[in-house]
């Protein structure tokens, strides 16, 4: 399996409040659909799967929401694609591909979310590394 593409279809952010006292942040990634596609623009001998995802961050209580949706394109030989689609019929994601696909979605979405959080003055949803003064 090889990842050949990633794109966002929807980016949405809404800030409703500046009151961060009781802040709780929930993050969610979901796979919405998996389907085999044909592409005239991509010339490869293997088959292509489109994995539709959604990603959301909810700042509670009703402070802000961020949501994205998009697609990950992967290519693999016919047998792997067939097995992948067979598992997806039961809404199961093949374990051997789960980590790499979800990590890609999280990495790309988290970077975009950090940029939007900065633009709207929201607290970041992940712990960023900090430089601390060393005590001697």
Reduced to 3 states (helix: H, G, I; strand: E, B; else coil), residue 56 is: strand
The string of pLDDT tens digits covering residues 36-63 is 988 666 666 778 899 999 999 999 999 9
User: Does residue 127 have a cis bond before it (omega within 30 degrees)?
Assistant: no
| H or E element in which residue 103 lies | helix 95-120
Per-residue pLDDT, averaged over 10-25, amounts to 94
What pLDDT sits at residue 78? 87
Query: Side-chain half-sphere of 14: how many Cα atoms within 13 Å?
Result: 7
Q: Measured between alpha carbons, how far is residue 29 from residues 25, 65, 67, 80, 113 in Å?
A: 14, 14, 10, 23, 13
The string of pLDDT tens digits covering residues 68-83 is 999 999 998 888 889 9
Q: How far is 82 from 131, CA to CA, in rounded Å?
A: 48
């Amino acid at each position: 399996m090889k990842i050949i593409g990633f794109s966002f279809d929807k980016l949405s952010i809404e800030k409703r409040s500046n009151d961060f006292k009781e802040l709780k942040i929930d993050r969610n990634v979901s796979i919405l659909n998996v389907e085999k596609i044909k592409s005239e623009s991509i010339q490869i001998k293997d088959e292509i799967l489109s994995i539709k995802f959604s990603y959301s961050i909810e700042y509670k209580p009703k402070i802000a929401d961020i949501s994205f949706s998009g697609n990950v394109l992967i290519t693999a030989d016919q047998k792997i694609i067939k097995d992948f689609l067979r598992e997806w019929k039961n809404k199961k994601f093949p374990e051997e591909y789960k980590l790499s696909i979800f990590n890609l979605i999280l990495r790309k979405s988290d970077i975009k979310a950090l940029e939007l959080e900065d633009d709207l003055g929201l607290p970041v949803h992940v712990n960023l590394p900090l430089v601390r003064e060393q005590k001697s």
